Amino acid sequence: MIDLVLNLFQCLGCFGIGSNSIPSLPMSTSKWTLRVITMIGNGDIENPEVLFLNCKKFRIVDIYPGRLANALLDAMGDMRLLRHFSHIVPVELPNSVLNLFNLQILYTDKPMAQGFGRLINLHTVPKIQLCKCGCFFNIRELKNMNKIRKLRMSGLCIASISDANEARLHSKRNLEVLELDFNGWKSCSEHTERSYGNEDTVSISGAQILETLRPHHQSLKVLRLNNFNFDTYPSWLGSTLFSNLTELHLDKCQSQHCPTLGELPSLRSLKIWGMEYVEHIGPEFCSLDRSTKGFLSLVLLSFDGLCRLQEWSGVEDGEFPCLETLRISGSFELRSLPLVPFSSLRSFTLSQSRNIITFPASSTLREVGISSCGSLNELPALPSLQSLRLSDCPSLVTFGHFPLLTVLDLDGQIIEDILHRLVNSHLLLECLKIWSHSLVSIHLDSKRLTSLAQLELRCPNLQYCDELGSLTSLKVLYVSGSPQLHVPDSLRSQLEKLIDL
């Protein structure tokens, strides 16, 4: 089959469309793609609806704002073979869309109309808001939509448990991505109670709703749970039956503890964000059975915004065997990290943890970024470290050796003696960036920094940089906001790039 891509420029040029004579599109091919766009001259077409008289065989339609877009919307009911429909027009979808039984992909930012459950062949649907402007969408519409692959729902104001059951998420064997957002659930439930006097609604908790919305365990690959403001997690969350789940996000869930997630056999990415009431993460995070090792497939772990977290402990040897990236941000009260070394860790980021003094050494770490950790006073020896970023760590006084370090990025207040030792003790250093308001002088040992090729200095009070002109390997120099620093003429002629900002 031939795919013919038409935009309005082609339509007007190829079919001789003028302001008074508008032929309809020909149907010489059995498969069409139509992209309607706003264009100059759109307003000159008096009867744009005539253009779309023969459009029954279109398969893909993308609609953008304009008169022609409105005309095409009016013709939607005849496109019974349509598979892909993208709607970026500031008008409501016509009810005729509900007749497009072969539709598989639907992109629109407009609320879905009642009856969209008739589109049983949809693979992708827009985000469903079950509570908007006091009116809630009946989740029963999902009952027979068993080909859905990606489903996002917010509000989750559900009148009864039977409605949630009727959605039949557990039977949707093609569902791969599920996002459930409870934002606005409380206010929506209160509105429903006032408006309808539904006693069943009052008795339903968010935990009950989530328990009922259990997805099919074999197909699910990505799960995002947002704004779950209840302390009890559903029994199915973290179940080993979800053998294909690879990505899990918990955002702004207000429970006081993290669920047990380490037994998910294929989980590769776990992001926990904004759980501000969690104070301790213990061994139950990995497994309830201590003979079972947790997180056997996890590659990325991110904690962000756990502002009351004080301790993460209980990790044993053999757990997290595949972890490559660990990110911790906004855990202001965190005092310690698990003592067990993560045997495969490659990248570690720690920011806004004011009580951390040091962190466990790892022989595999290649990238480390530490910022806004005011109590950090020691960096362990890291034999594989290649890139180190330090920002606002004024208490740092001790550090181990990093024999493979090639990139060093320093930002904020730093003691000059520490800077001197940190910079000049790493012979393979290739890229050095220093941003500091406190530094007046920097000593660079040109005999030791024989590999330094790029240097960036943003130090407004810097006056001296010893041996700057003796760095024979330097090719790129960035100097910004350092008016008192002199760059030797001999170095200028050597550089491939000098940027004085």
Cβ(258)–Cβ(308) under 8 Å?
A: no
Q: Does 314 map to a domain?
A: no
Q: From CA 18, how far away is CA 1, in angstroms rounded?
A: 30
- Model confidence at 200: pLDDT above 50: no
Q: From CA 146, how far away is CA 168, in angstroms rounded?
A: 9
pTM for the whole structure: 0.86
Domain that holds residue 98: 1-103
Q: Does 31 map to a domain?
A: yes
More confident residue, 196 or 92: 92
- Model confidence at 26: pLDDT above 60: no
Residue 248: half-sphere exposure toward Cβ, Cα within 13 Å: 30
Query: What's the whole-number mean pLDDT along residues 409-424?
Result: 90
Q: Does 63 map to a domain?
A: yes
pLDDT band at 138 (very low <50, low <70, confident <90, very high): confident
Least confident of 155-169, 288-302, 315-329, 404-418: 155-169
Kindly state the percentage of the chain with pLDDT values over 70. 82
- Model confidence at 344: pLDDT above 90: yes
Q: Does 97 map to a domain?
A: yes
Q: Does 43 map to a domain?
A: yes
| Residue 47 confidence (pLDDT) | 67
Query: What's the whole-number mean pLDDT along residues 41-48?
Result: 55
Which residues have CB under 8 Å from 402's CB, separation 6+?
Answer: 381, 382, 383, 385, 388, 426
Q: Does 460 map to a domain?
A: no
Least confident of 46-50, 69-73, 323-327: 46-50
- Model confidence at 51: pLDDT above 70: no
Tokens 């993208």 — which residue?
86
Cβ(399)–Cβ(420) under 8 Å?
A: no
Digit-coded pLDDT (tens) for 208-221: 889 999 999 999 99
| Residue 207 confidence (pLDDT) | 82
| Residue 8 confidence (pLDDT) | 41
Count up the domains in the chain and report the number: 1
Digit-coded pLDDT (tens) for 153-194: 888 777 778 888 999 999 999 999 999 998 866 555 554 544
Angstrom CA distances, 234 to 12, 46, 120, 237, stand at 57, 58, 28, 6
- Model confidence at 230: pLDDT above 60: yes
Q: Does 42 map to a domain?
A: yes
Least confident of 22-31, 179-188, 206-215, 423-432: 22-31
Tokens at 368, concatenated: 């480390």
Tokens 């010893």 — which residue?
466
Query: What's the whole-number mean pLDDT along residues 60-75?
Result: 75
Q: How many other C-beta atoms lie within 10 A of the C-beta of residue 72?
A: 22
| Residue 37 confidence (pLDDT) | 43
Q: Does 64 map to a domain?
A: yes
Tokens at 381, concatenated: 């020896």
Which residues have CB under 8 Å from 355's CB, separation 6+?
Answer: 332, 333, 334, 335, 375
- Model confidence at 195: pLDDT above 70: no
Least confident of 131-145, 155-169, 283-297, 359-373: 131-145
Q: From CA 180, how far away is CA 116, in angstroms rounded?
A: 19
Least confident of 74-78, 458-462, 463-467, 483-487: 74-78
Which residues pair with residue 408 across a beta bridge? 388, 432
Tokens at 474, concatenated: 């330097």
Tokens at 397, concatenated: 């006084």
Burial class (CB in 10 A: 0-12, 13-18, 19+), 240: exposed
pLDDT band at 416 (very low <50, low <70, confident <90, very high): confident
Residue type, 8: L
